[in-house]
Structure 1
Amino acid sequence: MDKKKNMEMVGAVYELVSGFTRTKALNAAASLNIAQHIGENEKKSVNDIAKEIGANSQSLYRLMRALTHMKCFREEDVDEHQQHDQQQHGIFSHTPLSLALRQPEVRNIALMRGGYGQTQGWQNLVETIKTGQSDVNKTLGYPDYWAFLEEHTDEAAIFNNSLASVTNMLTPTLVSLGDYTKFETVVDLGGGLGKLLKGVLKQNANIKNGINFDIPSVIEKNQHEVDVDPRYKDQAGDFFVEVPAADCYVLKSILHDWSDAKCLEIFKTISKSIKPGGKVYVYDYINSLYTKNEKNFTPWNDLHMMVMLNGKERNEWDWQYLAEHSGFKIESVKRPEGQGFAPPLTIFTKQ
């Protein structure tokens, strides 16, 4: 490799390994809620922003200036006659990306993915690759990420709000993928704040009972609108032990959190309670082996599941394995159109 090409590669590698700094910078912007302090069409000085959020203006300027290189915020140009006056610099306005940070759905993602728990967990990646098992006890000091969240209620709230925000955004697409017209009781396993189940109930008057099922620490904090659908109810429990009887079970972004062995436990618990003719609706990404050398976020999400949870984004054969070893079969796979971030729906029925 010639010197010029080698220097280009050095630059490229440096750019890539600096990715964590961008993650933390975006997380800081979300934590400080900077985007909310600039009006949609406003130009505002960093000094004014700093006063409003209680920050050091010079440090804030350095953060926002760096973020402009990610097309997050825009620093306004200074008239050539005033360029040497430092006071004239530091006027910022919005870009499409910084405007997006004003939305809870986007801000919550930056808070969750760039927060302590989910970044510290990655310190165990090399050991995970070597052993095939992630041990977050070494990085977070807890048996698993869920135990960490139980003790860190602030991060748990961010986690639940982030998932709920994304689900709320995707709910129309997700509901349209499945046929819920023949079910009387729908149980959303690991349903969190209940956003998806409420969307299902809204579109399907035939459903008599909708049960949002999650662990006690989630359910006890749930708050709902005054006019919540009377068919909706929260229920605390453990889907490794027992689940309510139903003819449809929904698992959105749940099975990718768990190993194959744990997923089989969940399926076997469902198998004990599912009504005749019932179905399991799994909304999870398919980490297709047929997609190679292309830009795709699913393999990165797969790594995240591996290092944080010993989970995985499963390929076609992985899903088939779970079906064959749990007494279920895959009836069909429904893929969303025009919504690249929405996961497909894989429908399981009992053999």
Structure 2
Amino acid sequence: MSDTGTAGERAARGGDGGGAALVEAALGFVFPAALRAAALARVADHLPEGPRAPAELAAATGTDPAALTRVLRLLATRGLFGEDEQGRFRLEAAGQALRSDVPGSVRDAILMITDRTFWLPAGRMDHCLNTGESVFEEIFPQPFFDHFAQDAETAAVFHDGMAAMSGVENGPIAHAYDFPKTGTVVDVGGGQGGFLAAVLRAAPGLDGVLYDRTHVLAGHQLGDDEALAGRWSTAEGDFFADVPRGDILVLKRILHDWQDESCVGLLRACRRALAPGGRILVVDAVIAPDNRPHQAKDLDLLMMTSLVGRERTYDDFRTLLTAAGLRLTRVVPTPTVLSIVEAQALDDASGTDGS
């Protein structure tokens, strides 16, 4: 008779102290490897109309039929695909976002997260544990963002992946905050402009500035939305040195990339650019002081291995903001894993401390 139940349940019944569950957890890396392989082959794109036999699906994707069967068999255990009695595979509802041609697709996000720039350093986490330093430069010739600036193909994977990852969260985050009716919002390090577009749609009285490096702005998508016509512009530069002036300055998924000293310098640049009565919105995960699972705790280790930054707690953010001449006024939760940490200049009398 075969054993049933989760690894944890089996371990409890077997009295092995949880060893079986730990072994199963150690095998967990195989799932994202299979997920990446399926995403690269665009398997989901070939299953919108129903199940297909492995040989047919392999011909359409340029893959080996036997290997494809084995990959999809594992992914089916996670509910992304399903296999019928004839051995044909279908795409389940949980796997629809693997398609590249549907709204809310996360295919590019999966390819970014499982790219070698994250995958290889994660496998060397012991280096970080022993030294307290990122292992990225042990594997690649340059720091993370310098590597991207010199490698257009890898940079495209990153920026397309960030756009896809943000695509499912931008709208809910933008609607979670009560933006002013008029003024200028500057999206600092705003990438392809997805979040700025969501803000401008949520607050039709605002104008926006998308601020980033030249090679990043080349891929922006603001011009694709006729509803935003005449309400946005782009600005190129180094956000550590200078930031365009605005009433609302947004830093979405930016501070977690950097060490505290660099974050303070960036926040000071934003403080200098802030209009009187303005606000800085740090949109990042806020790690809660408990042991509940949270995506930020996973991302925190990617920041540790590949970059030099970290995810932060409420107190961490308050310390950074204070050092930059800012005051944390409140933290606004959103329906996503991110929160909005709102700050104002210390010499701005409006607002109250959110602590």
2:4 aligned partner? none
Separation of aligned partners in 2, 1:108 and 1:95: 19
The question of whether the paired residues in 1 share the 8 Å contact of 2:125 and 2:135 is answered with no
> Is 1:213 aligned to 2:211, yes or no?
yes
> Partners in 1 of 2:94 and 2:176 — Cα distance?
29
Aligned twin of 2:76: 68
2:333 — aligned with what? 335
Tell whether 2:28 aligns with 1:19.
yes
- Opposite residue 345 of structure 2, the aligned amino acid is K
Asked whether the equivalents of residues 318 and 328 of structure 2 are also in contact (C-alpha less than 8 Å), the reply is yes
Unaligned runs of 5+ in 2: 1-10, 347-355
In the alignment, residue 177 of structure 1 is paired with which amino acid?
A
Structure 1 residues 4 and 203, CA, compared in 2 at 3 Å: closer, same or farther?
A: closer
Q: Which residue of 2 aligns with 1:98?
A: 95
4+ residue runs of structure 1 moved beyond 6 angstroms? none
Distance in 2 separating the partners of 1:271 and 1:131? 34
What CA distance in whole angstroms lies between the structure 1 residues aligned with 2:108 and 2:263?
Answer: 27
Q: 1:183 Cα deviation (Å)?
A: 4.5
The 3 A distance-change label for structure 1 pair 47 and 321 is: same
Q: Percent identity?
A: 27
> CA RMSD for the aligned pairs?
2.1
Deviations 1:300-345 (A, max 9, x none): 1111112221211101110111121110001111112xx2x34111
1:11-90 alignment to 2 at 5 Å?
11-40=20-49, 42-78=50-86, 90=87
Are positions 1:5 and 2:20 aligned together?
Answer: no
Q: Which range is displaced more, 58-67 or 209-218?
A: 58-67
State the SS of the aligned residue for 1:44.
coil
The answer as to whether partners of 2:256 and 2:309 remain within 8 angstroms in 1 is yes
- 8 Å contact kept, 1:286–1:313: yes
Give the superposition deviation at 1:349.
0.1
Distance 2:93 2:172 in 1: 23
Aligned AA for 1:100? Answer: A
Contact 1:248–1:274 (Cα < 8 Å) also in 2: yes
Supply the distance in 1 between the matched residues of 2:310 and 2:253 (Cα, whole angstroms): 11
SS at match of 2:89: strand
5 Å-filtered alignment, 1:135-284, equals: 135-142=135-142, 144-207=143-206, 209-223=207-221, 224-225=223-224, 227=226, 228-284=228-284
The amino acid that maps onto 2:61 is I
Distance 1:141 1:123, change over 3 A: farther
Partner Cα distance (1:177, 1:114) in 2 = 30
Aligned-pair CA distance for 1:12 = 1.5
Kept in 2: contact 1:244–1:273 (CA 8 A): yes
1:77-117 CA-partner distances (Å, limit 9, x unpaired):
24xxxxxxxxxxx3111222222312453212211111211
Number of residues paired by the alignment? Answer: 331
Partner of 1:344: 339
Query: What amino acid maps onto 2:28 in structure 1?
Result: G
Distance 1:94 1:168 in 2: 22
Checking the alignment, whether the CA contact within 8 Å between 1:37 and 1:49 is kept in structure 2 is yes
Residue type of the alignment partner of 1:180: F
Cα deviation 1:210-234 (Å, max 9, x = unaligned): 1101111101233531735212112
Distance change in 2, residues 1:199/1:2 (3 Å): closer
Q: Distance in 1 between matches of 2:204 and 2:308?
A: 39
